[in-house]
Structure 1
Amino acid sequence: MFNPARLTLARERRLITKKDLAAKAGISPVTLTRIESGGTDAPEEPTIEALASALNYPSSFFFLGDPEVLQENSVSFRRMSSTTAGQQKAARWAGSLAYEIDDWVHQRFNLPKPEVPDLREESPENAALSLRSMWGVGFKPIKHIISLLETNGVRVFSLDESNCNVDAFSVWRGTKPYVFLNTQKSAERSRFDAAHELGHLVLHQHGLLQEPGGIEKKEREKEADRFASAFLMPREDLLARVPSFPSLGDLIKLKSRWGVSVAALAKSAFDAGLVSDWHYRALCRELSAAGYRKKEPGPMARERSVAWEKILRSLWSKGHTKQRISSALSLPIDELEALIKTVVDDKAQKEAEKARSGNKSGATLRLVHSDR
């Protein structure tokens, strides 16, 4: 049966108004409103095909069950005030699609169980140290934060919204934690976003996002930032490595140790008492003048998901390309690729396909399994 909720999802994911979609599909706005509101029992097949074509979604997508909706007060948008209502809806629908992909993968692979504790009773800095201890990191630099999150059961997806208004967000789905990272950010800033969202997961997981007020929202964001700084750059390590009165050049040379932006390192050095208020403000002016707020000096390579790469390589080795996976999920391939954009590249798929060359038998998707 045609599911009007799926039409709403696809339309809002594409950021298309009802009026524009109706025009592209060749139907009246009134007819579209009736279809999307469930006011018509069964749209005719040509109408469904026209809507699917206009949205670039497979027709089969509109005959699936109700999508799982991410409620606004359960999602920790980093820059909620700067996003439009449409962009927020589109991002939440990306989460709904990620849930479906995750469920599909979970049926075929054994993924790590979540090991993300409730640390809301601790200060952000102490929570960061506690989690480092629990995850066996100690005071060492975290070289690969995405892998660390995945190893401890956090589901990591890309958020390819073609804008920076939605930096990143995290959400709890029952006992499963999810993090979505915007692919428009630099590698260093994306790492900080990942740590920031981890801060939300451990500090604000039990109803603390409900009905946020403006001041409360800002305070939670500050707490997540403090957690991220302490998690990526422990104060003990900063004190041992950063010289007194560091120059901008010193910070640029040192930032690669922790995999952070030079701006984040300057802020952490200030918070650790290594630089005075006057010196910090001078560093900030120098950063801005050099353009380092927008373009990172000495940029690092973007991290890729180890878990997703293993999953996709296993599927590809059995002939299950991204196109076949998207077809099995009744998703357009661009939505699948957007949600795993920072995971693997086409070269990896070609290598996997080359490795299985000559093996034409393949296996059904139902038979694909893997250990952790």
Structure 2
Amino acid sequence: MLGRRLKLARTAAGLSLRELETKIGNIVSAQAIGKYERNEMMPGSKVLAAIAEALGVSENYLTAQPDISLEGIEFRRNRITSKREEAQVEAAVMSFLEKYLEIETILQVPSLEWEEPRQSLLYVADIVEGELAAKTLREQWNLGTDPILGLAEFLEEKGIKVLSLELPASVSGLTCLVRRLNGNCVPVIVINTLDMGERQRFTLAHEIGHMVLTVDQNVDEEKAAHRFAGAFLMPAELLRAEIGVHRKSLSLGELLVLKKMLGVSVQAITYRCKDLGIINQATYRALFEIFAKKGWRTPPYNEPDPIPKEAPQRFKRLCFRALAEDAICEAKAAELLGMTVRRLNQEMETDC
């Protein structure tokens, strides 16, 4: 029904009914738009075209029948979020996922099967057991103890859809399941495209923790996922081999070298060293005082030597493939990718 799609697109655009009324030149009232969303009225072709243009979607998108729903949405918040912010994020995720699944359908490419780990091995009865769970998952996925480069791409190969979207500053990421009409569920992790690369990578690892851990009711799930993320990105064996088992101090230069190798922030490395007992609480506090004085503890967390941002590319590759195989036209590819036809042609030429 048009109503649900219209409300979804309007929420994703962050517009109120009155703001949308203004954006379409007041050709209909906010009350009328509300009736469209409740399926009490249907807009004429002129109004539908104006609304679609104002919301940056096609008329076909507004009139198509949705075949997915989101379940089990869990936000990773930096601070308290408003209901409007959460609704806006959910709408943006839904909109992107519909495009992702549409291009898979056009190419008749099935979603990659989620390689779900054996849950019995990832039960956590204590926060520290997040350490063992991370090691177990690395073993199941044959990762050894090496740093994981291109984490988003790796997770997509494991059947997790990774989306990089512009989220409110209050949200680092989220996990959810997308259910199709046929009943199949696909796991999804969303990261904030505005975050630094090191923060995106930790968010990805943290959200994997939420997806794979079975946490005892007496355990703080956030802390367990945090411990899991640290261990998943920075295996204890690797860190101890690089800096030793016990240290009285760590220099900023050494931490920055480790940052480049592991793809995580200096602060995450320091926290991990404290968890592993490599440094004591006093050394940990002293280092964090230095980080605070340098401004690394406050947004936008501008540490030196930023890590490249995670950039999941599977959706984009599928769109380029569909265009190259004449399965879609340039206008459709541009619509799916959210860019102009001119920009699309530039990127296609760059990739040749």
SS at match of 1:82: coil
Whole-Å separation in 2 of the counterparts to 1:345 and 1:284: 45
Whole-Å separation in 2 of the counterparts to 1:31 and 1:310: 40
CA separation of 1:170 and 1:323: change in aligned 2, threshold 3 A: farther
Residue 11 of structure 1 deviates from its aligned partner by 0.9
Amino acid in structure 1 at the alignment position of 2:87: K
Equivalent position to 2:193, from 183, 204, 214: 183
Whole-Å separation in 1 of the counterparts to 2:330 and 2:82: 31
Cross-structure match for 2:294: 290
After superposition, residues 119-158 of structure 1 pair within 5 angstroms as 120-122=122-124, 123-158=129-164
Whole-Å separation in 1 of the counterparts to 2:313 and 2:5: 31
Amino acid in structure 2 at the alignment position of 1:265: I
Whole-Å separation in 2 of the counterparts to 1:58 and 1:111: 24
Residue 37 of structure 1 deviates from its aligned partner by 1.5
Cross-structure match for 2:311: 304
Cross-structure match for 1:246: 250
Residue 93 of structure 1 deviates from its aligned partner by 1.4
Contact 1:78 1:221 in 2 (8 A): no
Q: Unpaired segments of 5 or more residues in structure 1?
A: 209-214, 336-343, 356-372
Residue 204 of structure 1 deviates from its aligned partner by 5.5
SS at match of 1:83: coil
SS at match of 2:162: strand
Cross-structure match for 2:16: 17
CA separation of 1:175 and 1:62: change in aligned 2, threshold 3 A: closer
Does structure 1 residue 232 correspond to structure 2 residue 227?
Answer: no
Whole-Å separation in 1 of the counterparts to 2:312 and 2:134: 22
Cross-structure match for 2:181: none
The worse-fitting range, judged by mean Cα deviation, of 148-157 and 95-104 is: 95-104
Contact 1:147 1:306 in 2 (8 A): yes
Residue 304 of structure 1 deviates from its aligned partner by 3.1
Does structure 1 residue 78 correspond to structure 2 residue 76?
Answer: yes
Amino acid in structure 2 at the alignment position of 1:157: L
SS at match of 1:76: strand
Residue 38 of structure 1 deviates from its aligned partner by 1.7
Amino acid in structure 1 at the alignment position of 2:333: I
Count matched residues.
328
Contact 1:242 1:254 in 2 (8 A): no
Amino acid in structure 1 at the alignment position of 2:236: R
SS at match of 1:77: strand
Contact 2:133 2:228 in 1 (8 A): yes
Cross-structure match for 1:38: 39
Which whole-Å deviations, capped at 9, do the CAs of 1:215-234 have from their partners, x for residues lacking one?
A: 99x92222211111000001
Equivalent position to 1:169, from 168, 171, 174: 174
Cross-structure match for 1:276: 280
Amino acid in structure 2 at the alignment position of 1:256: K
The worse-fitting range, judged by mean Cα deviation, of 26-35 and 133-142 is: 26-35
Cross-structure match for 1:223: 224
Contact 1:242 1:269 in 2 (8 A): no
How big is the alpha-carbon RMSD for the aligned residues of Structure 1 and Structure 2?
2.8
Whole-Å separation in 1 of the counterparts to 2:48 and 2:154: 43
Amino acid in structure 2 at the alignment position of 1:145: L
Whole-Å separation in 2 of the counterparts to 1:346 and 1:237: 44
SS at match of 1:226: helix
TM-score (norm 1): 0.79
Whole-Å separation in 2 of the counterparts to 1:204 and 1:88: 25
Instruction: Name the structure where strand makes up a greater proportion of residues.
Output: 2
CA separation of 1:264 and 1:323: change in aligned 2, threshold 3 A: farther
Whole-Å separation in 2 of the counterparts to 1:322 and 1:188: 35
